[in-house]
Homo-oligomer: A and B are copies of this chain.
Amino acid sequence: MVKMSDVAKRANVSTATVSRVLSKEGYVSEETRNKVLEAIDILGYTPNRLASNFRKSSSHTVLAIIPDITNPFFSEVVKGLEKVAAERGYHVLLGDTGNSLHVERDLMELVREQVADGVILATARVTNEEIEKLGRGLPIVVACEYFDGISIPTVSIDNVVAAREATQYLIDCGHRRIAFISGRFNIVLNRDRIRGYRQALEYNGLHVHEGLIQEGDWTMESGMNAMSRILAMDQLPTAVFAASDEMAVGALKSLKAKGLRVPDDMSVMGFDDISLSEMVEPELSTVQQPKRELGELAIRMLLNIIEGKKLERTQVILSHRLVIRGSTAPPRSAHEGGR
């Protein structure tokens, strides 16, 4: 492996000079620069970034900790991360926790070990306090999730408001009995969505039936199962709001299997607006999150922290948007003139 000193020797300069032309910092005369460049070319020199990183004690790498890369929501976020990381000369190390708290904690270590300069934490399993503790000193930004009164930078949508609006939309359609298919109860982001759902019902003077809130785990299968449980009740809702599009699609399938029609017999609302929602029939009404932007902004903030720039804002809320497609409509009873 040819190294800098080889280039220096060949060009009759010192390694300091070679380093200077490579880093484009400090003055080097046009003439020397050309000599060096030529030597590099002839010898086919490639700088050893490992050595450079070590010396500068910066890996130019950020770690993306995500629960599951297979989840289309997160792959969109990661795509955003990757894009601006590349633009700014950073690399992204992928840490897929498989939803394990343990793995999440382990991965954080990598920053202390200097393997990464900072962390993007998407949907934290660790607690508020733990993040604060872990984050002390190391560059970190939490993406997709908002923590109240936390000192760690955060980028997300307002899940409470988004869920409230979606629920309100169903209420405005005339639905009075609305089920909620939830993600895991222990996830903050999901609890926010439940809260929004409750708020909308309460605001409209509707009773919150605990039995209508069924827990899933974001997957389609769990959505199917949750819907089946709901369909087994003796008083059926006329609409169901799922905390993820996959679960909403599961609900769709379960409904079809039981011979119920969407939206005629039951309205279905999803969350996230992943591409899947336009691929099913009927297309899913859902809450659109700016996935790519979430990732882009999160990493911009992180890189700014790493590079010592001050952030103007440490908690950023991006805007969501209700997307109404074919899976929601007024309840049949409303069509028929009430009951």
Residues of A within 8 A of B (CB): 46-51, 53-54, 57, 59, 61, 64, 68-70, 72, 75-76, 78-79, 82-83, 86, 91-96, 98, 103, 109-110, 112-115, 220, 246, 249, 253, 256, 275-276, 278-281
Contacts and interface: CB of A to CB of B under 8 A. Distances in A.
Given A92-B93, A249-B279, A280-B280, A113 B69 contact: no
Contacts of A78: 69, 94
Q: How many copies does the complex hold?
A: 2
Contacts of A76: 70
Nearest to A50: B114
Nearest to A291: B70
A56 to B, nearest CB: 9
A29 to B, nearest CB: 27
B46 A50 contact: no
Contacts of A279: 220, 246, 249, 253, 276, 279-280
Given A69-B69, A279-B220, A279-B276, A113 B79 contact: no
6 contacts: A78-B94, A92-B94, A246-B279, A253-B279, A276-B276, A281-B281
A281 to B, nearest CB: 5
A275 B220 contact: yes
A307 to B, nearest CB: 18
Nearest to A55: B54
A325 to B, nearest CB: 13
B115 A91 contact: yes
Q: Which of A94, A112, A114, A246 has the most CB of B within 10 A?
A: A94
